[in-house]
Amino acid sequence: MLIRTIDYKNNKIRIIDQTKLPLKLAYIDIATLKGLWQAIKSLQVRGAPALGAAAALGMYLGIKDSSSPDWVNFSRKLDAAAKYIGSSRPTARNLFWGIERIQAVARANREKPVSQIKKIILDEARGIMREDMLSCRKIGLYGARLLKKNNRVLTLCNAGILATIDYGTALGVIYTAQKQDKKIKVFASETRPLLQGARLSAWELHQQGVEVTLIADNTAATLMRQGLVDLVITGADRIVANGDAANKIGTFNLAVLARYHKIPFYIAAPQSTFDLKTKDRKGIKIEMRKGAEVTSILFKRNSAPQGARALNPAFDIVPHQLISGIITDQGVITAPYRVNIRKTLKCA
Ligand code: MRU
């Protein structure tokens, strides 16, 4: 089944409303910047690469009706849109990368009439979506080489179709291996508090015909000790210069468990997730979300006494020492990361 997470149609951003899954596959059309901000904040659209595309399209929403005749006024609008979208969620590098790509292409064309700059911006945002489709497939090809027939892969959160335009990073690796007839089995860790593993990964893997078994997050150690996991593969929201990688809360737990059980632990991510200006994990801002996500089951039913305090960091950081390799669209990067990331991604 072909699934497209995000698109631009009839002057609106069309997304799958991921808060409705797995009960309903519903699409919503977003016509305003405020609507996009809310959709990002509430995780109707989520996952680092999808956020990069959403942010880029959002930049277009922010300026498309601008009547500013000159660059100075127009660029103020663009900067305001950038600031606003950037205030939605802090951790995924892709979101800021999407914004910066649009700002850069606009600046490079500042001498042109505003009407033309607008068109260039929309083309760039569409280009970002096309690039993601391509780069996820390359990640899939590089990653699938690491998988042997009948391997059992553990993953967390959702780094699949729903986190990208249409293919996925960590789950893209699985889809490619499946096409190669490797008969991969997946354990999806449910991913409390918002259950992206259960609601989204289990749903899309099932749709794609991959054998998936859902586990509660606290089952991972037992599975590993029983020898039921061959590899762990997750996505990432931000990978910094030394290879430290931020991803959904609980990823660090899995990396520690994998090391203890001598199981390879891989991260899959496109170039747009890398933040090489940040040296190490100390420079990564972790999003803190509402306690109500923890004290309830998807806001529908309280799972803690009224007034209970809750702490809810949305991400944690895997130190590079625990990562066996980073599967990118340019190849699989291994240690020493500080040198090899730059070499593989061809950065100066
Ligand atoms: O809070 P979310 O659902 O946006 O978190 C998403 C993740 O942690 C993904 O693993 C990450 O963005 C990589 S997606 C290819």
Q: Is the residue at 174 inside a domain?
A: yes
Burial label, 262 (beta-carbon count in 10 A; 0-12, 13-18, 19+)? exposed
Q: Is residue 141 part of a domain?
A: no
- The verdict on 85 and 60 lying in the same domain is yes
Q: Give the CATH number for residue 16.
A: 1.20.120.420
Q: How confident is the prediction along the chain (348 residues), in pLDDT tens digits per residue?
A: 899 999 999 999 999 999 999 999 999 999 999 999 999 999 999 999 999 999 999 999 999 999 988 999 999 999 999 999 999 999 999 999 999 999 999 999 999 999 999 999 999 999 999 999 999 999 999 999 999 999 999 999 999 999 999 999 999 999 999 999 999 999 999 999 999 999 999 999 999 999 999 999 999 999 999 999 999 999 999 999 999 999 999 999 999 999 999 999 999 999 999 999 999 999 999 999 999 999 999 999 999 999 999 999 999 999 999 999 999 999 999 999 999 999 999 885
pLDDT at 188: 98
As annotated, the active-site residues are 237
Report if residue 109 sits inside a domain.
yes
- Asked if residue 31 and residue 156 are part of one domain, the reply reads no
Residue 79 lies in a domain: yes
* Interatomic CA distance for residues 234 and 156, integer angstroms: 6
Q: 170 C-alpha to center of ligand 1: Å?
A: 11
Residue 202 lies in a domain: yes
Same domain, yes or no, for 88 and 30?
yes
One domain, residues 81 and 211: no
CA torsion, points 177, 179, 185, 191, in degrees to nearest 10?
80
| Residue 101, in any domain of the structure | yes
Whether the CB of 49 sits within 6 Å of ligand 1:
yes
Last residue of one domain, picked from the residues 136, 155, 171: 136
* Interatomic CA distance for residues 235 and 161, integer angstroms: 12
| Residue 348 confidence (pLDDT) | 59
Q: Report CA(235)–ligand 1 centroid distance (Å).
A: 7
Q: What 3-state DSSP class applies to 189?
A: strand
Q: Does residue 131 belong to any structural domain of this protein?
A: yes
198 and 178 within one domain: yes
Amino acid of residue 23 = L
* Residue 157 Cβ < 6 Å to ligand 1: yes
Measured in angstroms, how far is the CA atom of residue 281 from the centroid of ligand 1?
A: 17
Residue 84 alpha carbon to ligand 1 centre in Å: 21
| Shared domain check, 186 and 91 | no
- Position 1 scores a pLDDT of 82
Number of domains in the chain: 2
Helix (H) or strand (E) holding 253: helix 251-260
Chosen domain end from 116, 136, 156? 136
Q: Is 88 in the pocket of ligand 1 (CB under 6 A)?
A: no
The reply to whether 132 and 152 lie within a common domain is: no
* pTM of the full structure: 0.97
Encoded tokens for 177: 């291996």
Residue 158 is part of a domain; what is its CATH number?
Answer: 3.40.50.10470
Residue owning the nearest CA to atom 6 of ligand 1? 47
Q: Based on the fold, state whether residues 111 and 211 are members of the same structural domain.
A: no
82-100 burial string, b = 16+ CB within 10 Å, else e? bebbeebbbbbbbbbbbbb
Asked if 219 and 99 sit in the same domain, the reply is no
Quick: pLDDT tens for 166-194: 999 999 999 999 999 999 999 999 999 99
SS3 letters for 73-138? HHHHHHHHHHHHHHCCCCCCHHHHHHHHHHHHHHHHCCCCCHHHHHHHHHHHHHHHHHHHHHHHHH
Residue 45 in contact with ligand 1 by CB distance below 6 A: no
Q: How many residues does the chain have?
A: 348
Same domain, 115 and 150: no
Q: Which domain holds residue 128?
A: 6-136
The amino acid that residue 102 corresponds to is: I
From 136, 170, 195, the end of a domain falls on 136
pLDDT for 265 equals 99
If asked whether residues 206 and 78 sit together in one domain, one would say no
The total of other beta-carbon atoms located within 10 Å of residue 298's CB is 12
- Does the residue 1 lie in any domain? no
Asked whether 58 lines ligand 1 (CB < 6 A), one says: no
What is the pLDDT at residue 346? 86
* Same structural domain, 100 and 154: no
